[in-house]
Amino acid sequence: MGVLVVIASLALSLAFGGRPTSFEELVHAVFAPDGSVADIAIRELRWPRTLNALAVGTCVGVAGCLAQGQTRNPIADPGLLGIYPGAALAIVAGSLLPGAAGMSTYAQAGFAFAGAVTACALVIAVGSATRHGATPLTLVLAGAAVSALAGGVVSLIVLSSDAALDTLRFWQMGSVAARGALLPQLVPLIIVGLVLAVANIGPLNALALGDDTARSLGVSVARARILGLAALAVLAAASVTLAGPLAFAGLLVPHAVRGLVGADYRWQIPGSALFGASLLLLTDTAGRVIARPGELPVGVVLAVVGAPFFIYLARRRRLVTL
């Protein structure tokens, strides 16, 4: 069922945009293109951003599921582990370098990825520097500390540099349109992250019972946590590199999937990948249709969709807990 929803979302993403497209034009562009205006719009403009939205949605959905599972915190998302603030800090710091006015999209993406991974590694290192190693509590505390530090430095930089402020403002909107050309370079990393996430399914189910119970079942808690956090870091860094911060998706997707399939991570991980991909595709399509002939960034549409969803969650009497 989830696969069918993703396929339908892909079709809608290709069919709708700033220029109305008929079903016949869509079929023609896919199977027998001849260089018409509709063919160019579908194949050269919509197709790359559709693939980008598919990849970003998959990454952010699985990363959000891992973040909540590893911390056993239902309001956790990749940003809680410092990934989004770390990427923002790297980008605004890079805007201060000589010649940064002409910084390419590739260079900016490189800064974002490096900042995200570095921040997450720092959170893991700080959270692990206790007698019991990394625990859900120490990870959350370390993430809050690193996020606050990175946010403070970002504020200091943007207050003293108009160029840094402009760069940050554009990046924080969140969009799948601008960096689609980066996807081929990040596909190997995304595959590695997804493989690590799948390998973490069994240990995550054990960790959900508590660290002591997981140890009694023969699970290496330290190894399971490092494996899950490595997958989380790679996937979240890839998503933030391709589309900017989409924190609401990392919160919304795991909650929705947990309500549909329950607390078993054998279903949550693939469900989060499929639901995340569908959500990004549909919200990106909606942003193009609502503001036609312009568009609303997908981050804005996600916020508008996500807020009512969490109000609904808060009013529900029964929730599937972690």
Specify the 3-state DSSP secondary structure of 20.
coil
- Residue-level pLDDT at 271: 93
Residue 321 placed within a domain: no
Give the Å distances, CA to CA, from 181 to 40, 209, 299. Answer: 16, 42, 19
Indicate the length of the chain as a whole number: 322
Say how far apart CA 156 and CA 141 lie, in whole Å: 23
299-320 pLDDT, tens digit each: 888 888 877 877 776 676 555 5
Give me the pLDDT at residue 269, please: 93
Question: How does residue 76 score in pLDDT terms, banded at 50, 70 and 90?
Answer: confident
Residue 298 lies in a domain: yes
Across the range 4-21, mean pLDDT stands at 82
Alpha helices by DSSP H, 262-322: 265-290, 298-315
Contacts of 291 (CB under 8 A, 6+ apart): none
What CA–CA distances, in Å, run from 163 to 111, 154, 159, 316? Answer: 16, 13, 10, 45
Query: Do the domain assignments include residue 258?
Result: yes
Does 180 or 297 have the greater pLDDT score? 297
Tokens 């119970």 — which residue?
Answer: 213
Cα torsion through 151, 153, 155, 157, rounded to 10: -150
Residues 6+ apart with CB under 8 A from 163: 95, 96, 100, 101
Check whether 102 has a pLDDT greater than 60: no
119: domain CATH number is: 1.10.3470.10
Task: Please determine, for residue 292, whether its predicted confidence score (pLDDT) is greater than 90.
Answer: no
Q: What mean pLDDT do residues 231-236 have?
A: 88
- Rounded to 5 degrees, φ, ψ at 31 are -105, -25
For 167-215, how does the pLDDT look when each residue is reduced to its tens digit (9 = 90+)? Answer: 777 777 777 876 667 788 888 889 999 999 999 998 888 888 887 888 8
Residue 232 backbone phi and psi in degrees, to 5: -60, -45
Instruction: Give me the pLDDT at residue 321, please.
Output: 56
Lowest mean pLDDT among 52-61, 228-237, 294-303: 294-303
Question: How many angstroms separate the CA atoms of 269 and 61, rounded?
Answer: 8
Higher model confidence: residue 107 or residue 231? 231
pLDDT of residue 63: 92
Residue 270 near residue 197 (C-beta atoms within 8 A)? no
Band (pLDDT 50/70/90 cuts) for residue 270 is very high
**What per-residue confidence (pLDDT) applies to 101?**
55
Is the pLDDT at 298 greater than 80? The verdict is: yes
Give the predicted TM-score (pTM) of the model: 0.86
* 52 within a domain of the structure (yes/no): yes
Q: What is the DSSP string of 185-249?
A: HHHHHHHHHHHHHHHTHHHHHHHTT-HHHHHHTT--HHHHHHHHHHHHHHHHHHHHHHH---HHH
Please give the mean pLDDT across all residues of the chain. 82
Q: Domain total for the chain?
A: 1
pLDDT for residue 49: 87
Q: What is the b/e burial string over 216-229, where b = at least 16 CB atoms within 10 angstroms of the residue's CB?
A: eeebebeebbbbbb
Q: Is residue 201 part of a domain?
A: yes
**pLDDT the model gives residue 311:** 77
For residue 263, give the 3-state DSSP assignment. Answer: coil
**144 located within any domain:** yes
pLDDT digits (tens, 9 = 90+) for 53-70: 999 999 999 999 998 888
pLDDT band at 24 (very low <50, low <70, confident <90, very high): confident
Contact 109, 182 (CB under 8 A): yes
pLDDT category, 99, cuts 50, 70, 90? low
Q: Who has greater pLDDT, 173 or 125?
A: 125
Q: Which domain holds residue 241?
A: 2-315
Q: Please check whether residue 322 lies inside any domain of the structure.
A: no
Q: What is the pLDDT of residue 317?
A: 53
Distances in whole angstroms, Cα of residue 115 to Cα of each of 84, 94, 126, 236: 9, 10, 16, 11
Residue 43, in any domain of the structure:
yes
